[in-house]
């Protein structure tokens, strides 16, 4: 719960505290996370939990973002297992059927056409790279926001993990720590002098001020992509890395796909919720990885006898 409170205020305000945003984002995504968690530990889950995880699918897959994340995470888990139980087959079949219905609903196409004229009339002329660049812009602005405390925690803990816990560090680890440290500097509110120097590595208004014509815009986007790759690289060394990576990659991928919608800016910050919750899962894994060596050291520490008890 404490990590949940570290989500950016603008994301929480639109997808948690706002009643309509809660029903359209946090409510179905919570069901999806519960259903995924049961599926991932299906061997240890009882019959009741398995039934509840399947019963949660109609709500968990009721929006595009949570349905795509659920399908991705459960598919990765199934590929790792290399076998499929009756529960797993039934689960994936129902999830795929509901997700296909949601994604292929006739209202989606009608809304897509209507929203183009409302928000981004030039959207049909954009190519695939241009549309994805809009999503990168949204992700970049979230990654350099001073309010994104969960990302700040993820970057600091990642650096601690790579510098202290991970053994046999290589050039890739040093480069990842450098990229993460640079992103931390971009997030912190420094004085005017340093802020002016760091402005060249930020892009605050991608299409509104014609910033898309400047080179520093794409340098900023490149550094954001490097930061994402650095997080994924660090996640590779964590315990149960495939599960953590599936949430991270799924969260980032779902956010990238929002660039295919003309409402990518109209939907404001609530479209970032899945990505931010993926970071919450990642931070939990980092905390566990940092605590394991501490517990091992305490277990190996010799016990000093109490003189009073000996007497």
| pLDDT tens digit sequence for 256-288 | 998 888 888 888 888 899 999 999 999 999 999
The residue-averaged pLDDT of 276-303 equals: 82
Does some domain include residue 309? Answer: no
Residues 167 and 92 reside in one and the same domain: no
Closest CA to 76 of 255, 233, 240, 209: 240
271 Cβ contact list (under 8 Å, min separation 6):
65, 138, 255, 258, 264
- Tell me what pLDDT residue 51 has: 94
Q: What are phi and psi of 150, to 5 degrees?
A: -70, -35
Q: Look at residue 116 and tell me if it is in a domain.
A: no
Q: Note whether 254 and 142 are same-domain residues.
A: yes
Q: Are residues 96 and 19 in the same domain?
A: yes
pLDDT at 307 over 70: no
221-225's contacts with Cβ under 8 Å and 24+ in sequence apart are 221/133, 221/136, 221/137, 221/140, 223/179, 223/182, 223/183, 224/136, 224/139, 224/140, 224/143, 224/144, 224/183, 225/136
pLDDT at 234 over 90: yes
Number of domains in the chain: 2
pLDDT digits (tens, 9 = 90+) for 37-67: 999 988 888 899 999 999 999 999 999 999 9
Give SS3 for 188.
Answer: coil
Same domain, 213 and 278: yes
What average pLDDT does the segment 97-118 reach? 85
The angle, 0 to 180 degrees and rounded to 10, between the axes of the packed helices 47-55 and 27-40 is 140
In a domain, 258, yes or no: yes
In a domain? residue 44:
yes
Mean pLDDT computed over 290-304: 70
Place 30 in a pLDDT band, splitting at 50, 70 and 90.
very high
Distance CA 50, CA 37 (A): 10
Average pLDDT, the chain: 86
Are residues 184 and 224 both part of a single domain?
yes
Same-domain pairing of 141 and 84: no
pLDDT band, residue 298 (cuts 50/70/90): low
Per-residue b or e along 271-294, where b marks 16 or more CB atoms closer than 10 Å to that residue's CB? bbbbbbbbbbbbbebbeebeeeee
Same domain, 209 and 249: yes
Tell me the mean pLDDT in the region 168-194. Answer: 83
Q: Determine, yes or no, domain membership for 276.
A: yes
Residue pair 17/25 in contact by the 8 Å Cβ criterion: no
Distance CA 140, CA 154 (A): 16
Query: Which of these, 69, 11, 61, lies nearest to 253 by C-alpha position?
Result: 69
Q: 104, 138, 153: which is the final residue of a domain?
A: 104
29: in domain: yes
Same domain flag for 81 and 154: no
Q: Which of 282, 279, 276 is nearest to 14 (CA)?
A: 276
**Can you give the pLDDT at residue 287?**
93
pLDDT value for 73: 92
Looking at the fold, whether 5 and 136 belong to one and the same domain comes out as no
Could you tell me if 67 and 96 lie in one domain? Answer: yes
Q: What is the pLDDT of residue 58?
A: 94
Of 104, 132, 160, the one marking the end of a domain is 104
At 129, the pLDDT band (50, 70, 90 cuts) reads confident
The residue among 201, 166, 165 whose CA lies nearest residue 181 is 201
**pLDDT (tens digit, 9 = 90+) per residue, 205-214?**
666 555 566 6
Q: Which domain holds residue 65?
A: 1-104
Long-range (24+ apart) CB contacts under 8 A made by 48-53 are 50/87, 53/91
The pLDDT assigned to 221 comes to 87
CA distance 175 to 228: 13
Residue 200 predicted with pLDDT over 90? no
Specify whether 93 is located in the same domain as 133. no
Share of the chain above pLDDT 90, in %: 43
* SS3 state at 190: coil
pTM of the complete model: 0.88
Average pLDDT over residues 106-129: 82
Same domain, 69 and 195: no
Tokens representing 62 are: 């009721």
């Amino acid at each position: 719960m404490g990590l949940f409170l570290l989500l950016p205020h603008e994301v929480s305000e639109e997808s948690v505290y706002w009643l309509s945003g809660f029903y359209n984002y946090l409510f179905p995504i919570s069901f999806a996370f519960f259903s995924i968690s049961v599926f991932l530990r299906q061997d240890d889950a009882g019959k009741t939990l398995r039934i509840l995880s399947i019963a949660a699918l109609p709500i968990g897959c009721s929006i595009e973002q949570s349905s795509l994340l659920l399908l991705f995470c459960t598919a990765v888990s199934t590929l790792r297992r290399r076998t499929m139980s009756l529960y797993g087959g039934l689960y994936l079949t129902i999830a795929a059927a509901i997700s296909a219905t949601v994604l292929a609903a006739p209202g989606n196409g009608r809304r897509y056409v209507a929203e183009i004229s409302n928000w981004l009339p030039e959207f049909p002329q954009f190519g695939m790279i241009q549309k994805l660049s809009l999503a990168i812009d949204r992700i970049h602005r979230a990654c350099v926001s001073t309010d994104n405390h969960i990302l700040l925690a993820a970057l600091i803990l990642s650096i601690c993990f790579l510098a202290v816990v991970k053994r046999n560090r290589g050039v890739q680890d040093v480069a990842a720590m450098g990229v993460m440290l640079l992103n931390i500097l971009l997030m912190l509110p420094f004085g005017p002098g340093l802020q002016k120097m760091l402005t060249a590595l930020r892009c605050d208004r991608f299409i509104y001020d014609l910033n898309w014509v400047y080179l520093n815009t794409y340098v900023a986007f490149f550094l954001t992509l490097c930061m994402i790759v650095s997080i994924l690289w660090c996640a590779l060394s964590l315990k149960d890395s495939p599960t953590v990576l599936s949430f991270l990659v799924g969260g980032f991928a779902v956010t990238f796909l929002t660039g295919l919608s003309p409402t990518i800016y109209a939907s404001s910050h609530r479209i970032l919720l899945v990505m931010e919750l993926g970071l919450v899962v990642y931070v939990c894994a980092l905390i566990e990885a940092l605590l394991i060596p501490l517990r091992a050291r305490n277990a190996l520490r010799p016990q000093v006898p109490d003189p009073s008890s000996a007497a």
